[in-house]
Amino acid sequence: MASEQELQAIKGAKVLMVGAGGIGCELLKTLALSGFEDIHIIDMDTIEVSNLNRQFLFRQCHVGQSKAKVAREAVLKFRPNINITAHHANVKNSEFNVDFFKQFNVVLNGLDNLDARRHVNRLCLAAGVPLVESGTTGFLGQVTVHVKGQTECYECQPKPTPKTYPVCTITSTPTKFVHCIVWAKDLLFAKLFGDRTQDNDLNVHSADATNSSKNNEDISVQRDDEDCEKYGKRIYDHVFGYNIDLALSNEETWKNRNKPKPIYIKDVLPEPGMHQNGTNNTLDITDKSSLSAMHSLGLMNPQDTWTLAENSKVFLEALSLFLKKREKDIGSLSFDKDDQLSVEFVTAAANVRAASFGIPMHSLFESKGIAGNIVHAIATTNAVIAGLIVIEAIKVLKNAANSFRMTYCVEHPLKKMLLMPVEPFEPNKSCYVCSEMPLTLEVNTHKTKLREIVEKIVKNKLGVNLPIIMHGSTLIFETGDDLEEDMVANYALNLEKALCDLPSPVTSGTVLTVEDFQQEFTCSINITHREEFDDEKEPEGMVLLGLTPDLYEKPSKVATTEESTSMAPQEKPATVSDSDDEIEIVVLEESNRFAGSKRKLVETSITNSHDPKGKDGINVANDVGKLDDGHDDEVVVMKACNEDVRKKAKLV
């Protein structure tokens, strides 16, 4: 039970909840049942069938409707007298500016991506509103509190950049299934169905450069004399047969590697009967979610691993369905893990490539997880995390700074607990966001274009939404709807210029200022000229120093497993190690948020302790205990095993 003081704080509070997905649904319900009476929700999404298993405020009949609005209506059914305002919109929209944020006592994040989290962090800092941040990945989760000047901001701790792989691993020498998925998704799928003008070469270059890419023809374009089946077979033979043969001709590459095997369609699916099981789908299907190559081929179980022949059939059938039924989408598609046909195509293509390179094939279910960076969500983790968000929100409202806790939900018990409360750090003095520490950019100022700085550094690494870049008092780039035409043309010209050729030349020693008025964000970048960069270790051709130690300086680039930053399941590196009263936490969440530093574990005094004997298994659903020892600072402790004993952990 909340104390009278808490109830008053709760009733009088105006809270903003960003994200009405897995965590958000749980959070809205818990807020409403805890007595909150004025809640705003922002979510830009509509409800998908795949949300229904855990986003319990939504039903089948709501599919396609706004998450924010439906969540509001569902909660008002059992708490009709509270005020809930739903915004079906992107939190990055200009209407959600600093003044909008200022009206709230606390902001609660239930987001799934780094970009939106960084944006909300900056607005909370600018508006001086406390932020309770959260995330889950399967059994793992965390809730952190960020109060300007008192605790670290969301960006004080390093965030890993999305997992990236060297270009040559993806295009020529894959060794893991995830490499095949990245190839299928970011190269093949993107080339066939996305923006064809993008720089993306599906052709493998042989030692003899003139021999690559016959006549420089764009293989992805359907020829006039080709029907869908012929086109599909040509693409198949090109990418799985011809390109591999070509790659094999470069003997150097294979000296210390297993050679791949070229695969041609005639060897896998001898005529006739290539489409013997396909329906050729003549129905006029308008709903894209019901278009399925595997179903039309009679492959019903997504957890089966298809044979090479089946994968080849799915590849051809999916390609043909795209051409026949989704012609309008072609040219503008980007991979979406909720688009059935796209997942089928990518699964099939990745599997054929895997077969070629002697890598084990995977089911559609597994491939979808890897391609969409999905660690399958666990409703209970979301519920636990939502409860912890509300506990921290109440502390924020009571101004109980001493009892703020960052709480990590771990997969294996540590000190016999699955929830680890730790004291928040103070703001990081070298954080470029809340402490405005200057950064340094090593770059070849003679060769690098302004466009690369804007895309790779300002938007990608610094998370700036609407950048303004200045050299002294000279504007060299800005974005916005209200710019004059000649300014837009001028900036477009600047983007294509090398740094040293800009009207106000950027050379070694230049200090650039990057601003975002919406985020009220400013940072300085000291430019240092460097002539050479290591292609493998520094493929971006520039190095940004000073973000946070080391973590950003990993080799990177080319194909990422997705902008969304979650990891493929098999690579989940979440670990917690234990030494006396310090724990080292590397917890990944749906957006790759991680805390990678030693933190002081809040001392716990465990009463009613009863050593769990027996299995080490974790039964999260059974083992959540909410404790009430009459103290304000109570925490929820989860125990491993099926033991029925509840533990108390009193915060110091």
Ligand X SMILES: Nc1ncnc2c1ncn2[C@@H]1O[C@H](COP(=O)(O)OP(=O)(O)OP(=O)(O)O)[C@@H](O)[C@H]1O
643 binds, among Zn ion, ligand X, none (CB under 5 to 8 A by kind): none
Is 52 marked as binding a ligand?
yes
113 binds, among Zn ion, ligand X, none (CB under 5 to 8 A by kind): ligand X
Is 24 marked as binding a ligand?
yes
Beta-carbon neighbour count of residue 553 at 10 Å?
15
Q: Which of residues 17-56 bind ligand X (CB under 6 A)?
A: 19-22, 24, 42-45, 50-51
CA–CA gap between residue 149 and residue 404 (Å, rounded): 14
Find the length of the chain. 652
**Applying CB under 6 A, which part among 89-97, 180-188, 201-209, 601-609 lies near ligand X?**
89-97
Please identify, using beta-carbon distances, which residue of 9 and 28 lies nearer to ligand X.
28
Q: Which residue is nearest to ligand X (CB)?
A: 21
Among 113, 144, 340, 428, binds ligand X (CB under 6 A): 113
Is 67 marked as binding a ligand?
yes
Beta-carbon neighbour count of residue 575 at 10 Å?
13
Work out whether 156 is an interface residue with Zn ion (CB under 5 A).
yes
Please identify, using beta-carbon distances, which residue of 377 and 637 lies nearer to ligand X.
377
Contacts of range 616-625, beta carbons closer than 8 Å, 24 or more positions apart: 616/412, 616/413, 616/640, 616/641, 617/641, 617/642, 618/139, 618/411, 618/412, 618/413, 618/418, 620/139, 620/378, 620/380, 620/381, 620/384, 620/418, 621/380, 623/418, 624/380, 624/384
Please identify, using beta-carbon distances, which residue of 381 and 445 lies nearer to ligand X.
381
Is 23 marked as binding a ligand?
yes
**Applying CB under 5 A, which part among 71-79, 146-154, 401-409, 506-514 lies near Zn ion?**
146-154
Among 71, 84, 86, 91, binds ligand X (CB under 6 A): 91
CA–CA gap between residue 16 and residue 328 (Å, rounded): 38
Is 110 marked as binding a ligand?
no
**Applying CB under 6 A, which part among 71-79, 87-95, 328-336, 502-510 lies near ligand X?**
87-95
Is 623 marked as binding a ligand?
no
CA–CA gap between residue 260 and residue 105 (Å, rounded): 59
**Applying CB under 5 A, which part among 312-320, 425-433, 462-470, 497-505 lies near Zn ion?**
425-433
DSSP 8-state class, residue 331: T
Angle at which helices 340-356 and 364-371 pack, to 10 degrees? 100
Contacts of range 299-303, beta carbons closer than 8 Å, 24 or more positions apart: 302/363, 302/364, 302/365, 302/368, 303/363, 303/364, 303/365
Catalytic choice (25, 61, 124, 168) = 168
Q: Which of residues 59-78 bind ligand X (CB under 6 A)?
A: 67
Please identify, using beta-carbon distances, which residue of 499 and 547 lies nearer to Zn ion.
547
Work out whether 105 is an interface residue with ligand X (CB under 6 A).
no
Work out whether 92 is an interface residue with ligand X (CB under 6 A).
yes
For residues 261 and 244, the answer to whether their CB atoms sit within 8 Å is: yes
Minimum CB–partner distance for residue 280 and ligand X (Å) = 31
Work out whether 145 is an interface residue with Zn ion (CB under 5 A).
no
CA–CA gap between residue 189 and residue 341 (Å, rounded): 11
For residues 142 and 409, the answer to whether their CB atoms sit within 8 Å is: yes
Minimum CB–partner distance for residue 67 and ligand X (Å) = 5
CA–CA gap between residue 523 and residue 467 (Å, rounded): 11
Minimum CB–partner distance for residue 527 and ligand X (Å) = 31
Residue 317, helix vs strand vs coil: helix
Q: How far is CA 652 from CA 343, 372, 402, 423, 628, in A?
A: 49, 41, 9, 10, 16
Assess whether 168 carries a catalytic annotation. yes
Enumerate the known binding-site residues: 19-24, 43, 51-54, 67, 112-117, 153, 156, 431, 434
Which residues form the interface with ligand X (CB under 6 A)? 19-22, 24, 42-45, 50-51, 67, 90-92, 111-113, 116, 377, 590
Which residues form the interface with Zn ion (CB under 5 A)? 153, 155-156, 431, 433-434
Catalytic amino acids?
168
